[in-house]
Amino acid sequence: MFVKAIFLTGFMGTGKTTIGKALAERLKVPVYDMDEFIAEMTGKEVKTIFKEQGEEFFRDLETKSIRKLPLEDVVITTGGGLPVRTENRKYMMENGIVVFLHTDLDVIFERLKEDENRPLALHASKEDLTELYLSRKTAYEDCSFMIKTTGKSINEVTEEMIERLERQDTGNTE
């Protein structure tokens, strides 16, 4: 299968990092996780950057970092807030296939509630997370296609994505 850059987007906890790794393994291409890339580049964890330099500083780092990554034969898993900036969405759509992972908020809430690594989810109520998700919904929907993950295993989501990518490849959309 021909592979250009495959960007995985979606809200926190939808499985971008996990599924991106599985997908890259299946396609035998490298994977870059943007949160991990930024942590390596700065020598700081994402939550520390948020705490010490603030969210806008982190958003600027994201916008710069995505432009440093390779764009051929690669899977790139984005941070949950990266698509909010129009320039980032434009960059992804112009340079690859953008796959939006959609997961029901009830499932996301259960996954995130005990995780200390996501500063925007830490101490957030379900209402707070819903509001944040809704404020980003149209940005996520600006994608090549969406995959619904609720009730599916990591393996099932990965296989469904490969099928969709193959159809995308042949131009056969449904």
Ligand X SMILES: Nc1ncnc2c1ncn2[C@@H]1O[C@H](COP(=O)(O)OP(=O)(O)OP(=O)(O)O)[C@@H](O)[C@H]1O
Ligand Y SMILES: O=C(O)C1=C[C@@H](O)[C@@H](O)[C@H](O)C1
Q: Is 31 in the site for ligand X (CB under 6 A)?
A: no
Q: In whole angstroms, what is the distance from residue 137 CA to residue 153 CA? A: 23
Neighbours of 63 (CB within 10 A): 14
Three-state secondary-structure class, residue 10: coil
Closer to ligand Y by Cβ: residue 35 or 165: 35
Residue 18 marked ligand-binding:
yes
Closer to ligand X by Cβ: residue 27 or 121: 121
Q: Which residue, judged by CB position, is nearest to ligand X in the bound state?
A: 15
Q: How far is the CB of 86 from ligand X (least distance, A)?
A: 19
Q: In whole angstroms, what is the distance from residue 28 CA to residue 62 CA? A: 25
Three-state secondary-structure class, residue 116: coil
| Contacted by 149, from ligand X, Mg ion, ligand Y, none: CB < 5 to 8 Å by type | ligand X
Q: Is 158 in the site for ligand X (CB under 6 A)?
A: no
- Tell me which residues touch ligand Y (CB under 6 A): 12, 35, 46, 79-81, 118-120
Q: In whole angstroms, what is the distance from residue 27 CA to residue 90 CA? A: 25
The pair of three-digit structure tokens given for residue 75, joined into one six-digit string: 């899977």
Annotated binding-site residues for substrate read 35, 59, 80, 136
Annotated binding-site residues for ATP read 13-18, 118
